[in-house]
Amino acid sequence: MTLEAKGVVEIGIPLWQLQVATSIGLIGVWIGWRGGMSKMIGFYDLPTATRLLLYGFFVGAVYQAAASSLVLDPLWSAERIPLIEILLLSLTLSLLTMFLLTREGVRQLNGQPTAGWTFGLGLGSMLVVLLIYRLISTTYSDGIKGFVTMGFGWPSLLFGGLLACIVPWTMAIIGSWQGWHALEGRRFKPAFKAMLLHSMLLIVIAFGLMYLPALFILPAVIIWGQSKADRIWLPSGLSPRMKQEWTRLQRTGISTGVRAVGSEEEAE
């Protein structure tokens, strides 16, 4: 048996289809970054934001595997509602998020809200990869109650594109909200609230793959959360001088180049 054939057996689909699923999932990073960080161009700590994005990819790979086996599969197979597993998994994720956002390297430049945004993008994109994989690898004989679309084809790819547009963006909003609370000195209470948000998001996603209207709640969440992020969360880490400059540029519509903010500049 060739290595290629072994790969097909092990993952259930050809490798190139998995690569397509991964590419669509990563599109969500671009969409969410443009949606949330574009207005902050030149005012956020780019190295920290990029590093947290990479952390999000790594943590998201572990999270999607745990979510699949502990939460999504039981829900999709209609075996039971794994309430304890949902809460424990979501609590672990929210506590880990708070831990990463309160590290010294993030705190030094008050980058918790923007770092939380990019961390959520990484998490969400990896979760979307899993969801697309399940769509294209599932057949009607697998015991699943029935997804909106199954198998590799344009319907599954378009549905995957929809997921890439809304899931990473939603998780970025949750991450930025946690980062804002971390910046304000609140850690554990927001972590437990984020646990509930992540739990509800998993449930919405699980049912959304079977009943498309269930996903309609996420665009409403994005609209509300994006408004909060633009007005409060993302600018909250700016110094008074930089916040004044940011407000002026937003009012005039002038864009700036992306740069990292140095600690000595923040101190002015």
pLDDT number for residue 239: 64
Instruction: Report yes or no on 153 lying in a domain.
Output: yes
pLDDT in tens, 76-125: 887 678 889 999 999 999 999 999 988 887 877 777 888 899 999 999 99
**pLDDT at residue 4 is higher than 50:** no
pLDDT digits (tens, 9 = 90+) for 122-160: 999 999 999 999 888 876 655 555 787 877 888 888 999
Is there a domain that residue 143 lies in?
A: yes
Percent of residues, the chain, with pLDDT higher than 70:
79
Residue 175: its pLDDT value, please?
A: 93
Please check whether residue 4 lies inside any domain of the structure.
no
How far out from the chain centre does Cα 177 lie? 12
258 domain residue, yes or no: no
What's the number of domains the chain is made of? 1
Other residues' Cβ atoms within 10 Å of the Cβ of residue 169: 27
Span 177-189, average pLDDT:
86
Q: What is the pTM of this model?
A: 0.84
Position 41 confidence tier, pLDDT thresholds 50, 70, 90: low
Q: Which domain holds residue 211?
A: 11-250
Tokens of 81: 């509602």
For the chain, report the end-to-end CA distance as a whole number of angstroms. 66
Assess contact for 97 and 175: CB atoms under 8 A.
yes
Q: Would 257 be classed as within a structural domain?
A: no
Q: Is residue 38 a part of any domain in this protein?
A: yes
**Residue 183 in domain:** yes
* pLDDT tens per residue, range 47-70: 888 899 999 999 999 999 999 989
What per-residue confidence (pLDDT) applies to 162?
92
In a domain, residue 264? The reply is no
